[in-house]
Amino acid sequence: EARDALQTLCGVGAKVADCVCLFSLDKTGAIPVDTHVWQISVRDLDGSLAEAKSLTPAVYRRVGRLWHERYGAYAGWAHTILFAADLARFRDRRAEALGPASPPGPARKTKPKP
C-alpha cells in the first residue's frame, strides 16, 4: 500500500519506493532491487536469475520473492546487511568479523612452567 502510494509520485520507481518503505516506514520486508542486489541474488539465491538480460519488473518481483522465501519478514534487513557486506570497502571487515571458519574449542588449562 505504501509502496504503491509512493510510486504515484513523479520520479519514484519501485527501487526508491522500496528504499523509503524499508528505511523510513519500518517495512522490514521491502527489498530494494538494483543491479548489485540482482548480482548478489544470482550468486547466493538462484543462479538462473543470470539468464535474464535486464532487471525487468518481472525479475524485480522474482528477486523480492526469493529474498522473502529465504529470510522471511526481515528480508529487507537481510538484504541491507548482505548488500553492505558485499561492498569492496567492507570485505576485509566482513572476513575479520566472521573470524575463523570454525569456532575455537574450550580453553585449555595448562600448568605453569617451573
What are the residue ranges spanned by the domains of the chain?
2-89
What is the pLDDT, as a whole number, of residue 83? 86
pLDDT at 18 over 80: yes
Q: What is the mean pLDDT of residues 102-111?
A: 50
**Overall fold of domain 2-89:** Endonuclease Iii, domain 2 (1.10.1670)
- Active-site positions? 15
- Per residue in 51-106, pLDDT tens? 999 999 999 999 999 999 999 999 999 998 888 888 877 766 666 666 665 454 45
Long-range contacts of 26-31 (CB under 8 A, 24+ apart): 27/2, 27/3, 27/76, 28/73, 28/74, 28/75, 28/76, 28/77, 29/68, 29/73, 29/74, 29/75, 29/76, 30/3, 30/76, 31/63, 31/64, 31/67, 31/68, 31/75, 31/76, 31/79
pLDDT at 109 over 60: no
**What CA–CA distance (Å, rounded) separates 15 from 21?**
10
